[in-house]
Amino acid sequence: MFLKNNWYVAGFGEELTTTPLARTLLGEPVVMFRTESGEVAALEDRCCHRNLPLSHGKVEGNSLSCGYHGMVYNTTGQCIRVPGQDVIPSGACVMHFPLVEKDGVLWIWMGDADKASPGRIPDYPIHSDPRWAHKGNHYTINCHHELINDNLIDLSHVGYVHGKTIGGTPGAHSEAQISTERRDDGVTVRRFMPGTVPPPTYQRAMNFAGNIDRWMEIRFVPGLIRIYIGVNDAGQGFDEKTQMDKMGMRIFNGITPETENTTHYFWTAAHNFRVTEPEVTNNFYGEISATFEEDRTVVEAQQQRFEQFPGRKNVHIKTDAGGIHARRVITQLIEAERLAEKGNQAPAGPVIRIAQTV
Amino acid sequence: MFLKNNWYVAGFGEELTTTPLARTLLGEPVVMFRTESGEVAALEDRCCHRNLPLSHGKVEGNSLSCGYHGMVYNTTGQCIRVPGQDVIPSGACVMHFPLVEKDGVLWIWMGDADKASPGRIPDYPIHSDPRWAHKGNHYTINCHHELINDNLIDLSHVGYVHGKTIGGTPGAHSEAQISTERRDDGVTVRRFMPGTVPPPTYQRAMNFAGNIDRWMEIRFVPGLIRIYIGVNDAGQGFDEKTQMDKMGMRIFNGITPETENTTHYFWTAAHNFRVTEPEVTNNFYGEISATFEEDRTVVEAQQQRFEQFPGRKNVHIKTDAGGIHARRVITQLIEAERLAEKGNQAPAGPVIRIAQTV
Amino acid sequence: MFLKNNWYVAGFGEELTTTPLARTLLGEPVVMFRTESGEVAALEDRCCHRNLPLSHGKVEGNSLSCGYHGMVYNTTGQCIRVPGQDVIPSGACVMHFPLVEKDGVLWIWMGDADKASPGRIPDYPIHSDPRWAHKGNHYTINCHHELINDNLIDLSHVGYVHGKTIGGTPGAHSEAQISTERRDDGVTVRRFMPGTVPPPTYQRAMNFAGNIDRWMEIRFVPGLIRIYIGVNDAGQGFDEKTQMDKMGMRIFNGITPETENTTHYFWTAAHNFRVTEPEVTNNFYGEISATFEEDRTVVEAQQQRFEQFPGRKNVHIKTDAGGIHARRVITQLIEAERLAEKGNQAPAGPVIRIAQTV
């Protein structure tokens, strides 16, 4: 059960060339390619003749030809040529999916194509802002996508899981000042940690003289979590206007279900310090990368237990609020989608606003 | 659902020694062995005592003894000795399967042993004809056996899949002159490609001065596809009497279901040029081997898609005719077998002859 | 279907430190740890908050803290601290399992904790008896635990499977004098093999001048098989009082279901000859280890066949008696457990004693 009418990250623009790229998204094998004129396109990755994945084929002009018997498809999935015969068999076509390149990210719409409005694609100008340097990667994680949401929305875990990099004192995270804002289409969690010891990654980057103040804003919408972090020497205040604090970090987290229990994770880490030094960007990327491998271990182990014991009792704690709201946002959007498919309107007021701090 | 009353290739004669050979055929684990007097035999690969595969045992004289507690079986699967006791337990036996060595090939009958007539084993004299040199191999392919049939019966794919070896100009294959002959027990497809560019494998072997004419005959019976190929300089005609053309090739393709979705592929490639030069045979074998690895990639990818999406729509194209007939031959023979098992005769005239060219 | 109210081997005492040890036992993921005060404890390996295995956490004092958000559990599985909040959520606890360290072995009780009487743990004083030297290991075997029971209770297989180590003449084993004693809670098989050729392992250890007499006693209770072996020069008699024969061996076999079809095998091999020479112990261990790898091959191959063909016919032979009784013991104890869970008493006299020799 996926939320289908939603823009999901399908990859990074720089990944896509005229060589077809195969990726399973929301349980559907997809082939993406760039035509010779530079357009990006996404089709069902299956020739309608004998089911060879079209990703085994090749781009010719603005078309994709199958690697088995040479059938040619255009970017909307229509077969436009069958070698050796003049007639195109009736019904010779495959599904196509709207695909948009924006901010260096490939955004795909796996639901009803008529509802795919590019205007609703989330913004991420940081990828092209010269005040920020970034580097990222793509992982496949063996867990349900909501476990990654939980992990990123509740950062109180960083003290326990990431002590060697971005964590620092565990208690400081558990006792952060937290507010949670719920909207119809997302959740924002804000955390403030005044006067705490700088964790190793921060210290290696900035060599702080003493304690620091940290703020973090985690903006969740289905499929994307943007994390904004600002750091300054304790008591020095923040740059509230431009959010270009002494040490600023931005983490882009594209979270796209591959299957029910595996998830694509497309991420970039950006920093606003020493942005012209590639070695600084590489080091920062390396530390975040190590951190995410620690998270992978956690969420994949959770997944195993949830699969083994679907009925076992779980308890909630205070810091779960953001993650629980995110689950409700997804549940309500799926429900609305289900009702709309039946030709009904979503019931009036299905979304109940919840007080900002839970 | 396998066609059981049929001779299938179980291996090559040279593979079989007094060391038991385990192979799953039509879903059934089989142990094959050669007795000390040279006879070949095939039994259910499972001791009836505690289920240890008999292939863990050893040949003693004309018998096979279990490697766990030493129970001894003769070549018909009857237990003839139990160490430590005089009485053979009632019912101590395992299934046996008729096995015949012919043309260097091991042929097995997995169905009703009473119906196993060695006279019905297909001929393949090329393996012992000094005008031909051959070399082969055994692969296990992760797909349903009919996907391999489709692949070999419709050679229009070679231009798209095997461009680096036996393919050549894709269009020449799609536009070949094709006839399809359907019989009760098989299908023969004949293809003629006049005046085409010699593909790389042909050119490396024969160094043709210009274009060539090619004929191909693909003879399908359930479990075996024999491919006969003749090549000559364009316009020079063929040796219709002996079929010993300037460049002649013969491909033996034993296709035996291992399980529902995996298949044994026993093949040899023979050539009639420079037959006394082992290097030529090795090179020819190497090119065909590379070609078959390309086919493996295709059919295994197809299998994945068919398993993922059993209900998705497929279309047919003209060159599918031979493969479709082959599927019908198998379906009708299985249906006849099923009726015969129920004690009924196959209905009169169940096999409908179809015009030779579809 | 496991016998749950039973002491099973969970590991060796020397394996357990303050680093948590994860092991699945009777289908249940368990985390074991030693507190800083030296106590051993076993809990359900799953935090009740978000299911991260507690084995990812760490021991702090006498508690175990979760590696995700720092929740702290005591040795009875009660959550005693949640970082960042004062209130412990109601129901925040995980299962705990009685764990006892005895004779260098960790014994766990996976059933009703109220019935866990340490007095019922089997004895194995040989691990701390200076007249014996021992060394052991832990394997996970891919088969149902009763196939390992069968293997160890019926040693007639050693001549066929272990010819290169402890076997020797196959016939001598099949024709051993055997008696089988059945009790409510176990089975003991006694074997006597007079005047037989010493097998390679024995000969390498003791360099016997001629034939030997061998006795073996195999004591089965659910979860444990103790094998006692004595050897002397043929005709010299045995040390019936102390059982310290010329060559004495003791094999401890802890057999604990991991899942329905995989089994933990905890074993040690002890010898009473040249006990102060570590090289002798290492060599002896090495030969038994090689022997057990041969057994692994057998039982895992059996398991495959039983899974493939659950309905195929099997026959029994004379030497199966001990193993069949062991299966009946387990079946009757599980049946009694099942009745007791329903609040009923086991029916009077459900255990039928069987004549000692079958």
Domain segments of chain C as ranges? 7-119, 128-309+317-322
Residues of A in contact with C94 (CB under 8 A): none
User: Which residue among B170, B174, B305 sits closest to A51, beta carbon to beta carbon?
Assistant: B305
Residue of C nearest to A177 (CA): C84
Structure tokens at B147: 């996907």
**Of A157, A306, A314, Cβ closest to residue C69:** A157
Chain A residues inside the 8 Å CB shell of C52 = 298, 301-302, 305
Confidence check: pLDDT of A357 > 60 = no
pLDDT reported for residue B242: 86
Which residues of chain B are within 8 Å of residue C159 when distances are taken between CB atoms?
70
Residue B358 has pLDDT above 80, yes or no: no
Per cent of chain A over pLDDT 70 is 96
Whole-number Cα distances in Å, A7 to A186, A329, C211: 14, 15, 81
The model carries a pTM of 0.91
DSSP class of residue A272 equals S
Chain A residue whose CA is closest to B313: A48
Amino acid at position A165, single letter? T
Measure the CA–CA gap between A328 and A150, rounded to whole angstroms: 12
SS3 assignment, position C272: coil
Q: How far is C204 from chain B (nearest CA, A)?
A: 24
C144 pLDDT band, cuts 50/70/90, is very high
Question: A225 - beta bridge partners?
Answer: A220, A253
Q: With a cut of 70, say whether residue B344 has pLDDT above it.
A: no
pLDDT at residue A260 greater than cutoff 50: yes
- Binning pLDDT at 50, 70 and 90, where does residue C358 land? very low
Share of chain A above pLDDT 90, in %: 87
For residue C303, give how far its alpha carbon lies from the nearest alpha carbon of chain B (Å). 8
Query: For B89, which DSSP code?
Result: P
How is the beta sheet containing A224-233 ordered, strand by strand? A133-141, A262-271, A247-259, A224-233, A212-221, A186-196, A177-183
Substitution target from C26, C43, C51 for chain A, most A beta carbons within 10 A: C51
Is the pLDDT at B355 greater than 70? The verdict is: no
From A308, A303, A306, A243, select the one nearest A272 (Cα to Cα). A243
Q: Helix A321-341 vs helix A145-153: angle between axes, to the nearest 10 degrees?
A: 140
CB within 8 Å: C66 and A156: no
Mean pLDDT of C161-179: 85
Note whether A305 contacts C84, CB cutoff 8 Å: no
Q: How confident is the model at residue C10 (pLDDT cuts 50, 70, 90)?
A: very high
Residue B233, C-beta contacts closer than 8 angstroms, at least 6 positions apart: B208, B209, B210, B211, B212, B213, B246
CATH number for region B122-322: 3.90.380.10
pLDDT for A354 equals 34
Question: Quick one: closest CA in B to C151, which residue?
Answer: B68
- Which of B157, B306, B317 is facing A89, going by the closest CB pair? B317
Count of CB atoms situated within 10 Å of the CB of B202:
21
> C346: which strand partners?
none
Residue C241 DSSP symbol: T
pLDDT band at C345 (very low <50, low <70, confident <90, very high): low
For residue B306, list chain A residues with Cβ-Cβ distance below 8 A. 51
Closest chain B residue to C316, measured at CA? B49
Express each pLDDT in C52-93 by its tens digit: 999 999 999 999 999 999 999 999 999 999 999 999 999 999
Q: How confident is the model at residue A342 (pLDDT cuts 50, 70, 90)?
A: confident
CA distance C280 to B253: 57
- Kindly state the tokens that stand for B272: 């009639």
Given CATH 2.102.10.10, say whether it is the number of domain B7-113: yes
Residue A1 to chain B, least CA–CA distance (Å): 17
Q: Which residues of A touch C49 (CB under 8 A)?
A: 314-317
- Interchain proximity A67–B161, CB inside 8 Å: yes
Least CB-CB distance to A69: which of B309, B313, B317? B317
Test A316 with C53 for CB contact under 8 angstroms.
no
Give the pLDDT confidence of A172-231 residue by residue, as tens digits: 888 889 999 999 999 999 999 999 999 998 999 999 999 999 999 999 999 999 999 999
- Which chain B residues are closer than 8 Å to A91 by Cβ? 313, 315
Task: Determine the pLDDT at residue C219.
Answer: 98
User: Using CB atoms, which chains have 3+ pairs under 8 A with A?
Assistant: B, C
Within 8 A by CB and 6+ apart from A93, the residues are A48, A73, A77, A78, A79
**Which residue from C minimizes the CA distance to B94?**
C313
**Chain B residues within 8 Å of chain A (Cβ atoms):** 150, 154, 156-157, 159-161, 170-171, 174-175, 297-298, 301-302, 304-306, 308-309, 312-319
Candidates A156, A175, A315: best to mutate against C (most CBs of C within 10 A) is A315
**pLDDT, mean of residues C248-266:** 98
Quote the tokens at residue A254: 């594209």
Average pLDDT for chain A: 93
B with C: how many residue pairs have Cβ under 8 Å apart?
A: 73
Closest residue in chain A to residue C67, using alpha carbons only: A160
Q: Which DSSP state fits C204?
A: H
Q: Which of B297, B301, B319 sits opposite A69 (nearest CB)?
A: B319
Mean pLDDT over all residues of chain B? 93
Q: Which candidate in A69, A82, A85 is best for mutational testing of the B interface (most B CBs within 10 A)?
A: A69
Report angle CA A10, A11, A15 to the nearest 5 degrees. Answer: 140
pLDDT digits (tens, 9 = 90+) for B293-309: 999 999 999 999 999 99
Contact state of A66 with B297 under an 8 Å Cβ cutoff: no
Indicate whether A346 pLDDT > 80. Answer: no
A126-322: CATH topology:
Naphthalene 1,2-dioxygenase Alpha Subunit; Chain A, domain 1 (3.90.380)
Q: Residues of C with CB below 8 A from A313's CB?
A: 48, 91
Q: Do C317 and B46 touch (CB under 8 A)?
A: no
Q: What is the pLDDT of residue B356?
A: 31
**Angstroms from C175 CA to nearest CA on chain B:** 5
Are the CB atoms for C202 and C166 separated by under 8 Å? Answer: yes
CB count in 10 Å sphere of residue B336? 19
For residue A317, the chain C residues in CB contact (below 8 A) are: 49, 69, 71, 82, 84-85, 89
- Collapsing DSSP to helix, strand or coil, C244 comes out as coil
pLDDT at B345: 59
Phi-psi region at B215: left, alpha or beta (left = phi > 0; alpha = psi -120 to 50): beta
C316 and B91: CB-CB below 8 Å?
Answer: no
Is B93's pLDDT higher than 80?
A: yes
Which residues of chain B neighbour C306 with C-beta distances below 8 Å? 51
Question: What's the CATH class of domain C128-309+317-322?
Answer: alpha beta
Q: Does the beta-carbon distance from A305 to C83 stay under 8 Å?
A: no
The answer to whether the beta carbons of residues C150 and C44 sit under 8 Å apart is no
Q: pLDDT digit string (tens) for B259-315?
A: 999 999 999 999 999 999 999 999 999 999 999 999 999 999 999 999 999 989 999
To the nearest whole Å, the CA of C269 is away from the closest chain B CA by 22
* pLDDT value at residue B169: 80
**Could you say which of C154, C305, C318 has the minimum Cβ distance to residue B51?**
C305
pLDDT at C71: 97
Question: CA C67 to CA A160: how far, in whole Å?
Answer: 6
Q: pLDDT of A104-151, one tens digit each? A: 999 999 999 999 999 999 999 999 999 999 999 999 999 999 999 999
Beta bridge partners of C214: C193, C231
Subunits close to C (at least 3 CB pairs below 8 A) = A, B
Q: What's domain A7-119's architecture?
A: 3-layer Sandwich (2.102)
Task: Tell me which chain B residues have a C-beta less than 8 angstroms from the C-beta of C157.
Answer: 68-69
Q: Return d(Cα A9, Cα B247) in angstroms, integer.
A: 54
What torsion do the CA atoms of B204, B206, B209, B215 make, to the nearest 10 degrees? -110
Q: How far is A67 from chain B (nearest CA, A)?
A: 6
Flag if C305 and B91 touch (Cβ within 8 Å).
Answer: no
